[in-house]
Structure 1
Amino acid sequence: MGFLLRAMAWLVLTAGVAMADPGFWKNEWPRTDFSKTSVENWVEILSGGPGKDGIPALTAPKFIAVSKAKLAAREPVITLEIAGKARAYPLRYLIWHEIVNDRFQGLPIAVTYCPLCNSALVYYRKNKRETLEFGVTGKLRNSDMIMYDRQTESWWQQATGKAIVGKLTGAQLSPLPSWMESWESFATRNPRGEVMAEPNHGRPYGTNPYERYDSSKKPFLFNGEMPPHGIPPLVRVVRVGQRAWPLPRIAKAGEIREAGVVINWTGLQASALDSGTIAKGRDVGMIRVRNEKGEDVAHDLLFAFAFHAFYPRGAWMLGKSD
């Protein structure tokens, strides 16, 4: 497994992550109201190694034209298309920053990516009348990133978009339709689109600090129940609502029409969590999820263990025996 994961594991062990006690965290989080929470057992929350903002979220990034970008054809990007305009957020940047606070077509959005769960979601970052700006707590729950808003310092679960600790506990962010695809796929379809420019943070962009992670037998810092039906924990699944379709099933079929959605699979997208160089990752393909009217549907493409952890009563769409 990659150097970063080994380093994180060392930090976790030396810091004693068993100290799942809000009293301990109050020194780092004096503005967070720990008396309000939906977390039943604080042991679920662990330090991932880096502290508050140790993984620096981005705000108001710069963009360049598709024609000026120098990305490899199979590199994965998160795509957002609104009202005829398109933007691509390369995983070569998000794997190091995890959150991008942006505005697109007048909408305040948060583009989020948790490498340990492969969860990539774009949220409308407005709670009632207040526009929130998000950062990375450095904490994990079921291996998934816990975000925080800079306005109240409430904690939010990235994979669900729910506030789980603090003043805004119970609030829910609205996901926007977005998807992961190869850079070549995005650029071909959107020659006049925009792509996020390289941040000025001195990271080794284009490299994967979680080398071979998605080939592991066990997720990092996860002690929960493994998925049912013999599904390997790090198999990717397409989540729509509380239903999950294993990616191997979709790849074999090419197209699946079920439960009011149409899921298409095509090849030639590199895994961001395989090779030490993202562009050289093995082909995991790409999916597009639409409703029966052909409209894009908000979804996630996360690992099976994470779906089971956050949606324990969810439906596994396995075929005839569902």
Structure 2
Amino acid sequence: MTRLLSLLSTLFLIAGLAHADPGFWRNEWPDTNFNKTSVNNWDEIMSGGPPKDGIPALSKPEFRKVKSERRISGTEPVITVEINGATPRAYPLRYLTWHEIVNDSIGGIPIAVTFCPLCNSGITFDRRIARGTLTFGVSGKLRNSDMVMFDRETQSWWQQAIGEAIVGDLTGTRLKALPSWMESFAQFKSRNPQGLVMDEPDYNRSYGRNPYAGYDSSSRPFLYTGGNPPHGIPPLERVVRVGDRAWPLTRIRAEGGVREAGVNITWEKGQASALDHATIAKGRDVGTVRVRDGQGRDLAHDVMFAFAFHAFWPKGRWMIR
């Protein structure tokens, strides 16, 4: 698997770099303002393979009561969104792996639930900015192996890992990240017996299958040309990012949780990796992380691969001890 990923990375890298030029992209993106960007080198952006909307983002998804859901295994990961006054919702990675973005609204708040499989980055954003509410799609482009989103209102490009527009009229605009977390479906269901789970989308996809089998055991990320993380941390080790700090998951598991820098990080077993076995439900147990402040309030965070933290927070703080 590692050898195959390496070969595919090389082929896609050659193809991507050959067209790392706004002059070429304008054919597909005639309404994107390429004269405004925060990207210093266009070669940082490359094609991940699919074209614009080749990975179809979802909007206004259907939901069902968790007690009526029989297709999802208890160990399968979901992204949980709990907003005061609204019924908690779970967004299964068996669907997000194939769609990457869900545009939804909870308690009157328009949100985008996002998941980039190549970075294991799952972040929920408030879709409102000063000029209005945005709707997001998948561009098919990657930067540091992380998904580049786009908004349908201005056709600006957004970096998923940092929630910031990097190309187009909205360059420099940031989205607000909302508290959400990955946990197993069983954990969500146990805590929220009256909760809602996103229903299966009406697309012809192999839901429940992981098209990136063995990825999080690879030695090198897919289509990544940057440097490795410091301190000997493997590129595809999971880290818990809060702001510009990153805690290696191996440390959190070994210590049974961490309380420092005003953050309380807990871990419990029971959640399968979505990027291990070809069948998501059979993935190895990577456990569930919860991140709260000193008052017990959930904090926005991300459980991402170490290489992605290093790429987007090169001056970030590694919380090793």
State the TM bucket, normalised to the shorter chain.
Answer: over 0.9
Shift of 1:10: 8.1
2:269 alignment partner in structure 1: 267
SS in 2 for 1:82: coil
Deviations 1:31-90 (A, max 9, x none): 000000000000100100001000000000000001111211100000000115200000
- Flag structure 1 segments of 5+ consecutive residues without an equivalent: none
Shift of 1:255: 1.6
Which shows bigger deviation, 215-224 or 78-87? 78-87
Q: Does 1:188 align with 2:217?
A: no
Q: Does 1:73 align with 2:70?
A: no
Alpha-carbon separation, structure 2, partners of 1:34 and 1:260: 40
Tell me which amino acid in the other structure corresponds to 1:168. L
Contact residue 5 and residue 210 of structure 1 kept, 8 A: no
Contact residue 9 and residue 49 of structure 1 kept, 8 A: no
Alpha-carbon separation, structure 2, partners of 1:6 and 1:131: 39
Tell me which amino acid in the other structure corresponds to 1:60. K
Alpha-carbon separation, structure 1, partners of 2:219 and 2:8: 18
1:50 alignment partner in structure 2: 50
Alpha-carbon separation, structure 2, partners of 1:119 and 1:244: 13
The size of the alignment, in residue pairs, is 319
Tell me which amino acid in the other structure corresponds to 1:306. A
2:34 alignment partner in structure 1: 34
Shift of 1:12: 2.3
Contact residue 165 and residue 173 of structure 2 kept, 8 A: yes
Alpha-carbon separation, structure 1, partners of 2:10 and 2:204: 24
Alpha-carbon separation, structure 2, partners of 1:315 and 1:37: 27
Shift of 1:140: 0.2
SS in 1 for 2:88: strand
1:83 alignment partner in structure 2: 84
Shift of 1:7: 9.8
Deviations 1:13-34 (A, max 9, x none): 6745332111010000000000
Residue among 275, 278, 281 paired with 1:276: 278
Identity of aligned residues (%): 64
Alpha-carbon separation, structure 2, partners of 1:308 and 1:13: 20
Contact residue 6 and residue 222 of structure 2 kept, 8 A: no
SS in 2 for 1:135: strand
Tell me which amino acid in the other structure corresponds to 1:73. G
2:231 alignment partner in structure 1: 229
SS in 2 for 1:275: coil
Deviations 1:125-146 (A, max 9, x none): 0111411000000000000000
Contact residue 8 and residue 49 of structure 1 kept, 8 A: no
Alpha-carbon separation, structure 1, partners of 2:108 and 2:284: 36
- Flag structure 2 segments of 5+ consecutive residues without an equivalent: none
Contact residue 11 and residue 49 of structure 1 kept, 8 A: no
Q: What aligned pairs does 1:1-150 form with structure 2 within 5 A after superposition? A: 1=1, 9=9, 12=12, 15-70=15-70, 71-84=72-85, 85-150=87-152
Provide the aligned C-alpha RMSD in A: 1.7
Alpha-carbon separation, structure 2, partners of 1:12 and 1:130: 36
Tell me which amino acid in the other structure corresponds to 2:38. S
Would the alpha carbon gap of residues 57 and 206 (structure 1) be closer, same or farther in structure 2, given more than 3 Å must change?
same
Q: Please, what TM-score do these two structures have when normalized by structure 2?
A: 0.96
Contact residue 79 and residue 180 of structure 1 kept, 8 A: yes
Contact residue 5 and residue 209 of structure 1 kept, 8 A: no
Contact residue 122 and residue 175 of structure 1 kept, 8 A: yes
Tell me which amino acid in the other structure corresponds to 1:119. S
